[in-house]
Amino acid sequence: MESLYRQIKRLLLFRRSGVLMAETGTGKTCSLELIAKKLGVEFSGIVVIRFITPNRQCPSIRAFFKTFLWALDHPETSGETPNLRQRVTHKLQDMGLNAAWKLVWFWVDEAQALGLGDYCFLRDIQNDLRKVGVDLVVVFSGEAPDFGTELDQLRGKKGGGAVIDRFAQEMLQLDGYDLKSVEVLMGQMDSAVWPSEIQATWTQFFFPIAWQHGFRMIDEAKPCIDALEAAGLLQKKCVRVRLLRFVLAAFCLDNTARDCFPFRLPANSWPNAVGAGRIRLSEIRVEGS
């Protein structure tokens, strides 16, 4: 994740757009969600927006604009298509002009579902923003190989090559989670409130007594990585996000009943969690085959 974060920071500095393609389960969305939060803190002078591409079973440019307005938290999403388009443009201009960097970072998730008209609209928006001194940097994330196939097909359409190449200026690479990235993720577990109804962090929810006496998941990052390495599940010292998610779920569920003071985890707690995560990953693969 840290490598991807550095790549995205470079895009921001050079005002260039990019594409992230990776297979399902590699952690595209999870990584970009964390990066979006980090960008909002480290680069407080930019606008950070996430757009989830609507289902394209019934393609509609109007649906695209409405979803765009929801992503911008615009209060008015009714009306004809030209009015929706105008609202999107004006809202982005206002947001960008009020940002210190005059920069909008726009993340388009599930981008394999975009049509050529959507890309053309984003190009027009980018041109309109530049007229008022605001840059639009777009990062498209989508599932491989579908996203790559879709981009190739769009390039073959009339006018498609230029507009696609404008946004696919950089091909981003996503590695797995190394120790530092796992520490960041577990730190989020220690600080993110969930469920919101009880105002507890993830760690506090599963280990309330141990939490009161200083237990934090971030301190478990190294034992977690060590157990994954011992099981031969690291690639270039990194773990795939889907596997890590299953391992963390198994660890929390298996050990929540041990919550007490003093809190002592069994020596095999992480190896057991890794084993359970590996089994769950195998089940998912069988279900998807």
Range 165-178 average pLDDT: 88
**What is the C-alpha to C-alpha distance for residues 111 and 174, in angstroms, rounded to an integer?**
16
Report pLDDT for 286: 55
pLDDT digits (tens, 9 = 90+) for 62-79: 777 788 888 888 888 787
HSE (side-chain half, CA atoms, 13 Å) at 261? 8
* CB of 128 closer than 8 Å to CB of 135: no
Range 72-95 average pLDDT: 86
Range 135-155 average pLDDT: 92
Return the HEC string of 241-282. Answer: HHHHHHHHHHHHHHHHHHCCCCCCCCCCHHHHHHHHHHHHHH
CB-based contacts of 226: which residues, under 8 Å, 6+ apart? 270
Q: Looking at the predicted structure, is the pLDDT value of residue 60 above 80?
A: no
Q: What is the DSSP string of 28-95?
A: HHHHHHHHHHHHHHHTTTSEEEEEEPPP-SS--HHHHHHHHHHHTT-S---S-HHHHHHHHHHHHHHH
Alpha-carbon separation of residue 32 from 142, 283, 288 (angstroms):
12, 26, 24
**What is the C-alpha to C-alpha distance for residues 223 and 276, in angstroms, rounded to an integer?**
16
What tokens does 271 get?
A: 């190896």
**What is the C-alpha to C-alpha distance for residues 258 and 155, in angstroms, rounded to an integer?**
57
Burial 55-78 (b: 16+ CB within 10 A, else e): eeeeeeeeebbbbbbebbeeeeee
- Listed range (86-95, 137-146, 231-240, 279-288) with the worst mean pLDDT: 279-288
Report pLDDT for 198: 81
Report pLDDT for 285: 57
Of residues 129, 125, 171, the one with CA closest to residue 148: 171
Q: What is the DSSP string of 144-203?
A: TTHHHHHHHHHHTSTTHHHHHHHH-SEEE----B-HHHHHHHHHHHHHSB-SGGGT-BHH
Question: Which domains occur in the chain, in start order?
Answer: 2-172 (3.40.50.300), 179-288 (no CATH)
Percent of the chain at pLDDT exceeding 70: 95
CB-based contacts of 210: which residues, under 8 Å, 6+ apart? 259, 260, 261, 263
What tokens does 5 get?
A: 């974060």
Kindly report the pTM of this predicted structure.
0.73
* CB of 25 closer than 8 Å to CB of 242: yes
Report pLDDT for 59: 58
* CB of 90 closer than 8 Å to CB of 122: no
**What is the C-alpha to C-alpha distance for residues 273 and 275, in angstroms, rounded to an integer?**
5
